DNA sequence: GTAGGGTTAG
């Protein structure tokens, strides 16, 4: 900027929009300093508004501090807005109080910012005081102020979860954390305890309890306060939610009261009400408002549509969702980022991931949320590899993952049992300070448990400051999967003692625990407690867990009666658990009866054919077994081959029975033979009763020795350092002989061997298995 | 002054 005349300078100051960059603003600042009175309040105020418009927080703050007391009203309003815009809500409110204390009345320019700060700090008391102030000062006709008020009341309706997350790491702002202790240190001394309220005593029309505010700062001291997040998607029947839920009908009324009193309403007003309704599950009311928009001569915009789409995601109504999609396209909003991520999410929740994918590909701009929507969409639909692929692509596209990305992607690691990837993600989570987020911590607990490390899962669980129903359920289920039934039960009891009401999923977890330990009576008492005391209708999962438990415990007839009396029609898979129990307990007669039930409900249930045929074989009824296998072949069904895999040096090695294709096959074979010799010396006798082929005894043994899990384990032994834990995953259940063999192996090579079959974990150590041979 | 994405379940 060249040497500028006083007149030009003043004009520039007046027309602050002309200053577009930081360097222009700084040059102007310098010129004023050189040529004008550097202490002129009016110049500084105008310059301040230029700085705040450019979102220059530090410069604005410094400039504000150069103002002589009392600061002019205009300067106060600029700095308050600046604090709010930069996420410094406590500072914003502090300045607001200070402004009032210095005798400056707030007006319609400052209330929207102040209300926004109250909203994001979740301070209803303060917000209500501000509302009182608005009414008394007659600002209650202002459109912007009223919109901000409605927004505040709408957000306070879904207070519970937000309050929780406020202290437990939730960040939707992309990292704008406020460290309150930093703020507190900056509050001028004269506004210390007590003095503030007396200095406020003279303020007309404003009634805030300043001591409350000071106390609040003290309570928050040292804590990192983060922005609240949406409460959407919570299931109405989620009992834990109801327990802590603090939905305030009064706030809902307040939204309406404000809306009805408004002399003029614009699209923002309508959108605010619509979002408020949708966020609180009042879907029909929200949609009614959308339909009424037309009567007010308004048209839905991207805000409206992206708020309405989640409704159809929750309703799983893809037809309605598509109508909105069509509307968006017709009105030129088809590629809006916000609508885009809502569409991706809506299609995914309606199990139409291909459509999500299409929307994603057509988006010209993709932000962290669009990426996360497609990642979560894949994972929720069981496309774990796809989800991981998108996650990697996101990193390549230089989009920094956010906290939500991790709670979306970790379940994929959990389902794929890829411990090394899970650990890498955990490292990233710690480095970025996301590890105090409840969602992420719960996902980590689940991931570690499912990847075989119940110890790490428990460690993370114990380190969590506060547990919600999901984290409890994750650790209970994890303990159950690892056969630690008593841990699972005591955790469940501890959870109840802490006042958390178990929901339907938590009962699935505790029943699973009972099932793995054969605790029949305990399970019945939980089942009855659930239906009678908690009023939770048993779902298929509960029935399946009970049926499994009874069957395993040998109470076959009881299981049969139980399944037959189910409220929900039993599925093939529920009957299958009993069929498997019939195999274990060698009840051929009941097995046939159960198999008939399965074939009636689910004629293509391959598992049932296989089990029944094995039951026949074990009973030496080779012809019946053959008959079933032929009918399977005629139906075009193929038995799933048993497969085991192991991660070595971040690489997955998969084996099928008798597999000779692995590059180290000869080494594996040699080691296997050596091992077998030592096992036999220790007393291992192969048990061929589970070899369901009508072949010679020697050949049966040979078939056993090359079961996939043994190949994987031996490969693990020869390719990892002495003492390393071996973790093997198998797609089917471990056979009895392998179970015995692995016990011997664990003792001989002195290693912990963790095997996850399709049902649970087995930890083999010192010749014993954690399942106590009950599985 | 208004908007989109997340964790547990055979």
CB A373 within 8 A of CB A345: yes
pLDDT on residue A337:
97
A508 touches strand B (CB under 7 A): yes
Bridge-based pairing of strands A726-730 and A761-765 is unpaired
Angstrom distances, CA of residue A106 to CA of A134, A197, A302, A319, A564: 9, 18, 32, 49, 71
Q: Is the alpha carbon torsion for A206, A207, A211, A213 positive or negative?
A: negative
Whether nucleic acid strand B comes within 7 Å of the CB of A541, the answer is yes
User: What is the structure's pLDDT at A772?
Assistant: 87
Rounded to whole angstroms, the distance from the CA of residue A24 to the C1' of nucleotide B1 is 29
How many C-beta neighbours within 10 Å does residue A328 have?
Answer: 23
A438/A422 Cα distance (integer angstroms): 17
Provide the 10 A C-beta neighbour count for residue A596.
Answer: 13
Closest by CA to A509, choosing from A540, A542, A486, A534, is: A542
Does residue A53 lie within 7 Å of nucleic acid chain B, judged by its CB? Answer: no
Nearest-nucleotide field for A337 (CA, C1') = B4
The spacing between the Cα labelled CA in A544 and the C1' in B10, in angstroms, equals 7
CA–C1' distance A127–B3 (Å)? 22
Q: How far is the CA of A727 from the C1' of B10 (A)?
A: 22
| Contact positions of strand B to protein Cβ (< 7 A) | 1-10
CB contact burial A477-493 (16+ within 10 A = b; e otherwise): bbbbbbbbbebbbebbe
Is residue A505's beta carbon less than 7 angstroms from any atom in nucleic acid strand B? yes
Q: Which nucleotide's C1' is closest to A264 (Cα)?
A: B1
Q: Can you tell me the distance from the alpha carbon of A684 to that of A677, in angstroms, rounded to the nearest whole number?
A: 9
Measure A66 CA to B10 C1' (Å).
68
Q: What is the pLDDT of residue A195?
A: 31
Q: Which nucleotide is nearest to A446 (CA to C1')?
A: B8
Beta A643-648 vs A726-730: how paired, if at all? Answer: antiparallel
Distance A460 CA to B2 C1' (A): 38
Amino acid A388 CA to nucleotide B7 C1' distance, rounded Å: 17
Helix, strand or coil, per DSSP, at residue A451:
coil
What is the per-residue burial (b if ≥16 Cβ within 10 Å, else e) of A139-152? bbebbbbbbbbbbb
Q: Which amino acid residue lies closest to nucleotide B3, measuring CA to C1'?
A: A303
A182 CA to B3 C1', in Å?
31
8-state DSSP, A285: H
Tally of CA atoms within 13 A in the half-sphere of A534 that contains its CB: 25
A310 Cβ nearer than 7 Å to chain B strand: yes
Say how many CA atoms lie within 13 Å of A382 toward its Cβ: 2
CB of A339 closer than 8 Å to CB of A302: yes
Nearest nucleotide (CA of A144 to C1'): B1
Nucleotide in closest CA–C1' contact with A508 = B9
CB A741, CB A684: distance < 8 Å = yes
Chain A residues 113 to 132 with C-beta below 7 Å from nucleic strand B? 113, 116, 119
Contact A54, A81 (CB under 8 A): no
CA gap A492, A485 in Å, rounded: 10
**How many CA within 13 A on the CB side of residue A466?**
14
- Cβ neighbors of A644 (< 8 A, separation 6 or more) are A654, A655, A708, A709, A711, A712, A728, A729, A730, A731
Q: How far is the CA of A168 from the C1' of B2 (A)?
A: 26
Which nucleotide lies closest to A759 by the C1' atom and the CA atom?
Answer: B10
For residue A102, how far is the Cα from the chain centroid? Answer: 46
Q: Which residues of A in 616-645 have their CB below 7 Å from strand B's atoms?
A: none
Query: What is the spatial distance, in angstroms and rounded to an integer, between the CA atom of A517 and the C1' atom of B3?
Result: 49
| Residue A171, nucleotide of least CA–C1' distance | B6
Report CA(A712)–C1'(B8) in Å, whole number: 30
- Closest-approach nucleotide to residue A365, Cα vs C1': B4
Strand B contacts (CB < 7 A) among A residues 419-438? 437-438
Which residues of chain A between 74 and 93 are close to nucleic strand B, CB under 7 A? 81, 84-85
Nucleotide nearest to A85 (CA to C1'): B1
Judged by C1' against the alpha carbon of A111, the nearest nucleotide is B1
pLDDT along chain A (775 residues), means of 10: 62 75 85 79 85 89 89 93 92 93 92 95 89 93 96 76 33 29 31 31 35 43 30 30 36 82 95 91 91 95 97 96 97 96 98 97 97 98 97 96 96 95 96 94 98 96 95 98 95 96 97 94 96 95 94 93 90 92 91 93 86 86 87 83 90 87 90 92 85 76 87 95 94 90 95 93 94 85
Q: Is the CB of A417 under 7 A from strand B?
A: no
Strand B lies under 7 A from the Cβ of residue A142: no
**Nucleotide B4, nearest residue via CA and C1':** A338
Query: Which residues share a beta bridge with A763?
Result: A754
Rounded distance between C-alpha atoms, residue A9 and residue A14, angstroms: 9
Which of A 334-393 have CB under 7 A of nucleic chain B? 336-342, 345, 349, 367-370, 372-373, 376, 379-380
């Amino acid at each position: 900027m060249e040497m500028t005349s006083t007149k030009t300078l003043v004009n520039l100051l007046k027309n602050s929009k002309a200053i577009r960059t930081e360097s222009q603003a700084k040059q102007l600042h310098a010129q004023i300093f050189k040529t004008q009175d550097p202490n002129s309040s009016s110049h500084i105020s105008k310059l301040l508004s230029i700085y705040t418009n450019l979102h220059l927080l530090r410069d604005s703050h410094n400039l504000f501090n150069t103002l002589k007391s009392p600061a002019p009203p205009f300067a106060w309003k600029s700095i308050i807005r600046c604090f709010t815009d930069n996420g410094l809500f406590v500072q914003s409110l502090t300045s607001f109080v200070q402004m009032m204390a210095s005798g400056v009345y707030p007006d319609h320019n400052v209330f929207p910012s102040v209300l926004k700060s109250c909203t994001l700090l979740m301070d209803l008391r303060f917000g209500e005081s501000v509302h009182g102030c608005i009414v008394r000062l007659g600002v209650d006709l202002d459109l912007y102020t009223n919109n901000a008020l409605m927004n505040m009341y709408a957000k306070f309706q879904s207070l519970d979860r937000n309050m929780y997350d406020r202290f437990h790491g939730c960040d939707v702002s992309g990292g704008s954390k406020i460290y309150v202790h930093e703020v507190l240190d900056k509050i001028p001394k004269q506004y210390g305890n007590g003095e503030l309220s007396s200095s406020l005593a003279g303020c007309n029309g404003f009634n805030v309890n300043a001591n409350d505010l000071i106390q609040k700062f003290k309570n928050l001291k040292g804590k990192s306060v983060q922005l609240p997040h949406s409460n959407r998607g919570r299931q109405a029947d989620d009992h834990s939610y109801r327990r802590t839920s603090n939905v305030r009908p009064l706030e809902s009324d307040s939204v309406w009261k404000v809306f009805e009193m408004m002399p003029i309403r614009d699209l923002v007003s309508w959108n605010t009400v619509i979002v408020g309704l949708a966020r609180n599950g009042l879907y029909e009311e929200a949609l009614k408002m959308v339909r009424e928009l037309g009567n007010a001569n308004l048209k839905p915009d991207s805000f409206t549509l992206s708020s309405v789409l989640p409704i159809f995601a929750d309703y799983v109504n893809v037809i309605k969702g598509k109508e909105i999609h069509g509307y968006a396209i017709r009105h030129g909003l088809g590629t809006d980022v916000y609508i885009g991520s809502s569409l991706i999410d809506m299609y995914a929740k309606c199990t139409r991931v291909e459509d999500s994918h299409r929307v994603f590909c057509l988006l010209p701009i993709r932000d962290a949320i669009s990426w996360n929507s497609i990642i979560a969409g894949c994972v929720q639909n069981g496309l774990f590899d796809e989800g991981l692929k998108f996650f990697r692509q996101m990193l390549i596209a230089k989009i920094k993952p956010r906290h939500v990305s991790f709670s979306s992607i970790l379940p994929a690691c959990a389902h794929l049992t890829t411990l090394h990837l899970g650990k890498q993600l955990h490292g990233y989570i710690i480095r970025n300070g996301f590890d105090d987020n409840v969602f992420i911590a719960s996902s980590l607990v689940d991931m570690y448990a499912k990847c075989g490390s119940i110890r790490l899962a428990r460690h993370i669980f114990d380190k969590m400051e506060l547990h919600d129903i999901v984290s409890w359920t994750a650790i209970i289920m994890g303990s159950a999967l690892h056969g630690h039934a008593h841990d699972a039960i005591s955790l469940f009891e501890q959870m109840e003692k802490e006042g958390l009401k178990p929901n339907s999923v938590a009962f699935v977890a505790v029943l699973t625990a009972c099932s793995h330990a054969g605790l029949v009576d305990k399970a019945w008492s939980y089942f009855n407690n659930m239906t009678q005391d908690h009023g939770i209708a048993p779902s298929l999962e509960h029935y399946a867990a009970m049926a499994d438990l009874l069957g395993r415990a040998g109470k076959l007839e009881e299981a049969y009666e139980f399944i037959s009396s189910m409220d929900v029609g039993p599925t093939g898979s529920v009957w299958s658990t009993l069929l498997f129990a019939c195999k274990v307990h060698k009840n051929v007669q009941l097995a046939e009866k159960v198999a008939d039930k399965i074939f009636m409900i689910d004629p293509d249930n391959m598992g049932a054919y296989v089990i029944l045929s094995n039951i026949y074989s074990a009973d030496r009824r080779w012809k019946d077994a053959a008959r079933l296998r032929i009918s399977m072949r005629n139906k075009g069904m193929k038995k799933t081959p048993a497969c085991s895999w192991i991660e070595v040096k971040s690489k997955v090695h998969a084996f099928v029975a008798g597999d000779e294709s692995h590059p180290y096959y000869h080494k594996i074979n040699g080691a296997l033979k050596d091992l077998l010799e030592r096992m036999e010396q220790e007393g291992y006798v192969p048990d061929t009763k589970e070899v369901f082929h009508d072949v010679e005894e020697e050949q049966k043994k040979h078939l056993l020795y090359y079961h996939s899990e043994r190949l994987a384990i031996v490969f693990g032994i020869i390719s990892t350092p002495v003492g390393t834990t071996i973790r093997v995953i198998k797609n089917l259940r471990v056979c009895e002989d392998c179970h015995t063999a692995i016990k011997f192996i664990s003792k001989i090579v002195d290693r912990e061997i963790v095997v996850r079959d399709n049902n649970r974990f087995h930890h083999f150590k010192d010749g014993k298995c954690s399942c106590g041979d009950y599985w």
